[in-house]
Amino acid sequence: MLIDFVINFCILFTFAILTYIPFQNKLNVYIPSYNYARFILGILSGFTGCLLMLTSVSISDFFIVDGRMAVIALSGVLGGPFAPIISGTIIGVFRLFMYGFSTNALIAGSSTIVIGLVIGLWSWKKTMTFQNVPYFFGYSILQTSIVLGFLGNWKFETWLAIISFIVFSVLSFSIIFVILKLLSSLFEKIKHIEEMSVTDYLTGLNNNRKFQECTQKLIENNEVFSLLLLDIDYFKKVNDTYGHPVGDEVLKELALRIKNTSKPFEGIVSRNGGEEFSVILRNTTDDKSLEISDLIRLAIEKNLFLISTGEELCITISGGVSTFPEDAVTTHELYKLADEALYLAKTSGRNKVVHINHS
């Protein structure tokens, strides 16, 4: 009997791991669209529940114990409301005909279907998470125990089956629950580290690494775009007068304005270092890129920067633009030309944007 319990648990454990990792998109592996994933998870959960019943542990001639309730509950965490409804229905129908159709089979199968429906509808209003899934699971255990007692007329043999069912279900669910929760925490940390590797720590924008990746991808796809480089005018004076903490305040506010202004044009904003920022403007050539760039410049110039000292600073920026593939066909060349245009903007008065073709 112990071997049978171990086999049943191993099937349940394998299901949990093999469905959790790919369907939660934690490690950048392929996952189906969410529209399909919830149905796929429901079907996988249903078939896993059927397999658990086929390898169930016989307590008596009338009672079997397996981990199907854990499958139904966990499917809701992984696949949303539809998954427990689908899995509960598949498992319930299979239970109807597993040992031949009978009144007891009808009651047991119907109970499983109802559990799936209740958990699914309940999770529609209260999204299932690792924090609340024990309550959903507890409900399934309670209802199943009552059904077992009803079918067995609450005899000693029935109580033995109920206790065995509760102990095995709770123990197996608890082990898998802890493992999946630890995996979830680990994957969140990995995801955070990955985001930090491509994110500027101060402004939350893309860093130079991410900028290089985005630019190279657009070039490989042969997509027309313009590269705008921006630099704060006289930023050293801000740091020297007010200190670097205030300088950081200016950089964060500047990043927010650039991001908000370029968002309607799907601009990809990065902080390339120090007070230098870049905006990738997709599907834009000379005139359009200058138009958008000037909107960004005006968003900086026309609104004063309120700093922690209570003072308001007038900040301006200068910009340089180059366009792919008209001006260059590599990231290095585009950046170099945009930087040259930025230098022209600086030396010809600042607070302006220059396209390398209009210099």
- Give the pLDDT confidence of 8-35 residue by residue, as tens digits: 778 777 877 777 666 655 444 445 555 6
Q: Is 265 exposed, middle or buried (0-12, 13-18, 19+ CB in 10 A)?
A: middle
Measured distance CA(321)–CA(293) in Å, rounded: 9
DSSP 8-class letter at 323: E
Q: Among 2.30.29, 1.10.1760, 2.160.20, 1.10.8, what is the CATH number of 2-197?
A: 1.10.1760
- CB of 337 closer than 8 Å to CB of 330: no
Q: Is 266 a catalytic residue?
A: no
Measured distance CA(91)–CA(48) in Å, rounded: 9
Ordered by start, the domain boundaries in the chain are: 2-197, 208-358
Residue 334, C-beta contacts closer than 8 angstroms, at least 6 positions apart: 215, 227, 322, 324, 327, 328
Measured distance CA(119)–CA(248) in Å, rounded: 49
- CB of 228 closer than 8 Å to CB of 321: yes
Q: Spell out the CATH class of 208-358.
A: alpha beta
Measured distance CA(305)–CA(200) in Å, rounded: 21
Joined together, the tokens standing for residue 69 give 């309730």
- Crossing angle of helices 156-197/2-23, nearest 10°? 30
pLDDT of residue 353: 94
pLDDT of residue 148: 85
Measured distance CA(260)–CA(256) in Å, rounded: 6
Among 188, 253, 275, 312, the active-site one is 275
pLDDT of residue 27: 44
- CB of 187 closer than 8 Å to CB of 180: no
Question: Which DSSP string do the residues of 87-154 spell out, in sequence order?
Answer: HHHHHHHHHHHTT---HHHHHHHHHHHHHHHHHHHHHHHS---TTTHHHHHHHHHHHHHHHHHHHTTT
For the segment 43-101, what is each residue's pLDDT rounded down to a tens digit?
888 888 888 888 877 776 666 677 788 888 888 887 888 889 999 999 898 888 877 77
Which residue numbers in the chain have pLDDT < 70?
A: 1-2, 4, 20-35, 60-64, 359
- CB of 151 closer than 8 Å to CB of 109: no
Residue 134, C-beta contacts closer than 8 angstroms, at least 6 positions apart: 177
pLDDT of residue 21: 65
DSSP 8-class letter at 225: E
Q: Is the pTM of this model over 0.75?
A: no
Measured distance CA(257)–CA(251) in Å, rounded: 10
